[in-house]
Structure 1
Amino acid sequence: MSGGEFDLIQQCFVSKASYSHAHTVVGNGDDASVHGLAENEQLVVSTDMAVQGVHWPDDFPLDLAADRAVCAALSDLAAMGAKACWAWVSVVAEDSDALAMMGLGVGNALNRYDVELSGGDTVHAACNSLNITVAGIVEKNTSMQRNKAKVADNIWILGNSGLASLGLQQWFSGHKDADFVESFSHIEPKLKQGNLLREMGVRCCIDVSDGVLQDAGHISKASQIAMQLDVEKFPDWQRLSEKLGDEKAMQAMLSGGEDYALLFTAPANMKGLDKLATCMGVCVPGSDVQAYYQGEMIHVVKSGYDHFASK
């Protein structure tokens, strides 16, 4: 692919992401974008990075890598219960072909979830990476947050836990068509489900990107409560315990990240949640997250992913 930077931006990004949002006043192509909000709406904004060799393997298709990077960013909006509207995507590419493939993935993801590309930037450098900022709207003062859990709330999970990390292991071992690989390669941000949970009255939620224990810990710390999890109630427990054995299944479900499930709490009397999610714990007085198996507290060697943890 040939052309200058601005021609490449048009070819690789603007032409691929076609959705336009009604709240946009000034869209992509100016120095900045301008967006309007209704009086009863609030803006929800999140930013994320994805780097080759860190967030995806070096031999992973770049279009899928960019697609999943956008979806991972959108998952933060799902955790707040927001309607996703806009994205600003900056890409570092090693050459124009890499830029084209990442542009294809970005466009595919944004079009799939009706999100407008509102701006971005491109840089030619040695390491392929993306910086993605996403924004959405939510009804005023109804966003779901980490600090809203209460003692006696039930703990729920909407989505899978552990499958993506197992899929990544299978990819690294050369089994690129194995049963869990798609759980890593194809992320589904739970946007509709997050919005529905918010409308039902759920006020505490987080998306599981770094592992259930790690992300539950963020709720525990922000809400100043303890959380007790029963691994046998996780939605994939039976399947994984039979395939991997109990110990490896626990490690994957509690510490494996990248599944982008929604972990949330709700009062025990809230109706209808069992049609959407799986109840697998309870909030209690205290300040930590404990996992239990057959009534006994278990110890997990690694609680989740941390970019700056000691290796």
Structure 2
Amino acid sequence: MNEFELIEQYFLSNKTNRQRAARITAVGNGDDCTVLAHLEGRLAISTDTVVHGRHVPTSSPAAWLASRGLGSSVSDLVAMGARPLGFTLALTMPHVSQGWLKGFSDALFRAADLYDCALLGGDVTRGPLTASFTVFGELPAAGRLLTRDSAQCGDRIWVSGALGAAGGALALFDRKLSPHDSDYRSRLQLISAYASPNLPIDLGLQLQSDAQVHSAIDISDGLLADLAHIAKASRVDIHLDSKAVPVAPALFDIYSPDQALLYALSGGDDYQLGFTAASGWTIGDGSATPIGEAVDGQGRVFVDGRPVGEWFDALSSRLPAGVPLSEGYQHFG
């Protein structure tokens, strides 16, 4: 199978994708370029790369590279309040495996259906297993943008969903999974959360249109690490109440409360939203939880009144031996 046969069979033959792409393109997938059209607003663009063995375990099936790769990329659009439109894919593989490609492309188009975005083009080549996604989203033609640098003193800090499931899943991958385990269902829930991010797209659209919501970020590297970006960009200090942080319930079936909280604060890969809003703002559907406050400061994050480093030092004494402590994921360092 050559490059063009591969592209035709696994990436051009999906009818639903072709129909979705036709709504937003003048020239579609298969030419030298895709030409976007029919847009009424501003275009948001983001790129993410997933490296096999670095961003997903080496034992991960092809489906995880697709679903996590696209999900993590679309999550950036959600944080800006953009409506997902489409994406391009650059896929590098060490060799051609039709079974692997089918698993990858099937999961890719399931995720595209979930996020209502179309594959618009891309590239395939030989090399270490890597998938890079560039995503496109639409924002209103005029008005403010939801960014990291607009938090205000007195804002409350909010987070969507429940946190820590993906971080807790990563710690399980070296353990065999058996239906006879008492925590089998809980472990499946964590692994599912890791493998297929469930993005709060509707919430992102709602926040973008609400003037009382001032700043936002997606929770990808960990709650503490990502809120630190808001604190630094907005020149405020952020104070969090650890007891208010919503922790994924399945974690408590497997880990101690302290270790579950650790994953919720720093595990990463949650792809929920952290955002700040005026002190009197609230949300009626329970899709987000207030967890702290922004105050005048120098771009720092505090947990229960302590700088993050001090808080982690106190936590470490209550954790089982060998549990790694991290304030969040870092690509280098």
Using the size of structure 1 for normalisation, the TM-score is 0.90
SS state at 1:148 partner? coil
Note the residue ranges of structure 2 that are not aligned, 5 or more in a row.
Answer: 179-183, 313-324
Find the partner of 2:194 among 174, 184, 191. 184
| Residues 278-311 of structure 1: per-residue CA shift (max 9 Å, x gap) | 000000111200111xx666522421010101xx
Is contact 1:145-1:206 (8 Å) kept?
Answer: yes
Match for residue 89 of structure 2?
A: 89
Matched, 1:290 2:291: no
Return the alpha-carbon distance in structure 2 between the equivalents of residues 64 and 244 of structure 1. Answer: 24
Identity of aligned residues (%): 32
Instruction: State the match for 2:311 in structure 1.
Output: 299
2:172 counterpart of 1:195: no
**C-alpha distance in 1 between matches for 2:68 and 2:248:** 25
Native 8 Å contact 2:65 2:131 kept in 1: no
CA shift at 1:15, angstroms?
1.6
User: 3-state SS of the aligned residue for 1:71?
Assistant: helix
Q: Deviations over 1:23-49 (max 9, x none)?
A: 32211111111113555x110000000
Match of 2:177 in 1: 175
Equivalent AA in structure 2 for residue 73 of structure 1 = S
Task: Please report how far the alpha carbon of residue 102 of structure 1 lies from its aligned counterpart in structure 2 after TM superposition.
Answer: 2.1
Equivalent residues of 2:22, 2:28 under 8 A apart: no
Q: Secondary structure at the match of 2:149?
A: helix
**Which position in structure 2 is the counterpart of 1:118?**
120
Tell me: CA distance 1:107–1:240, structure 2 relative to 1, closer, same or farther (3 Å).
closer
3-state secondary structure, aligned to 1:136: strand
Give the structure 1 partner of residue 161 of structure 2: 159
Contact 2:25 2:38 in 1 (8 A): no
The letter of the residue matching 1:291 is: V
The aligned runs of 1:126-165 (5 Å cut-off) are 127-139=128-140, 140-165=142-167
Letter in 2 for 1:36: A
Residue 186 of structure 1, CA deviation: 1.6
3-state SS in 1 of match to 2:138: strand
Per-residue deviation, 1:238: 7.3
Compare 158-167 and 175-184 and name the one that shifted more.
175-184
Among 269, 276, 281, the residue aligned to 1:270: 281
| Residue 332 of structure 2: aligned partner | 308
2:9 corresponds to: 11
What residue number does 1:26 align with? Answer: 27
**TM superposition shift of 1:237:** 7.4
Cα shift at 1:5: 0.6
Unaligned 5+ runs, structure 1? none
C-alpha displacement at 1:245, in angstroms?
A: 3.0
SS across alignment from 2:230: helix
Q: How far, CA to CA, are the matches of 1:255 and 1:296 in structure 2?
A: 16
2:79 match: 79
Structure 1 segments (4+ residues) deviating >4 Å: 237-243, 295-298
1:224 aligns with 2:235: yes
Is the 8 Å Cα contact of residues 161 and 287 (structure 2) preserved in structure 1? no
Deviating more after overlay: 248-257 vs 45-54: 248-257
Residue 274 of structure 1 and its aligned partner are, at CA, apart by: 6.1
SS of 2:173's equivalent?
A: helix
The equivalent residue for 2:315 is none
SS in 2 for 1:25: strand
Preserved contact between residue 165 and residue 248 of structure 2 (Cα < 8 Å): no
> In structure 2, how many angstroms separate the alpha carbons of the residues matched to 1:185 and 1:92?
20
Does the CA-based 8 Å contact 1:154-1:265 persist in structure 2?
Answer: yes
Residues 168 and 260 in structure 2, CA contact (< 8 A), matched pair in contact too: no
1:37-76 equivalence runs, <5 A: 38=39, 41-76=41-76
Task: Return the offset for 1:138.
Answer: 0.6
Note the alpha carbon deviations across 1:209-249, whole angstroms, 9 max, x for none.
11111000100011010101111001127775685334323
| TM-score (normalised: structure 2) | 0.85
Q: 1:133 to 1:113 in 2, by over 3 A?
A: same
Contact 1:91–1:99 (CA under 8 A) maintained in structure 2: no
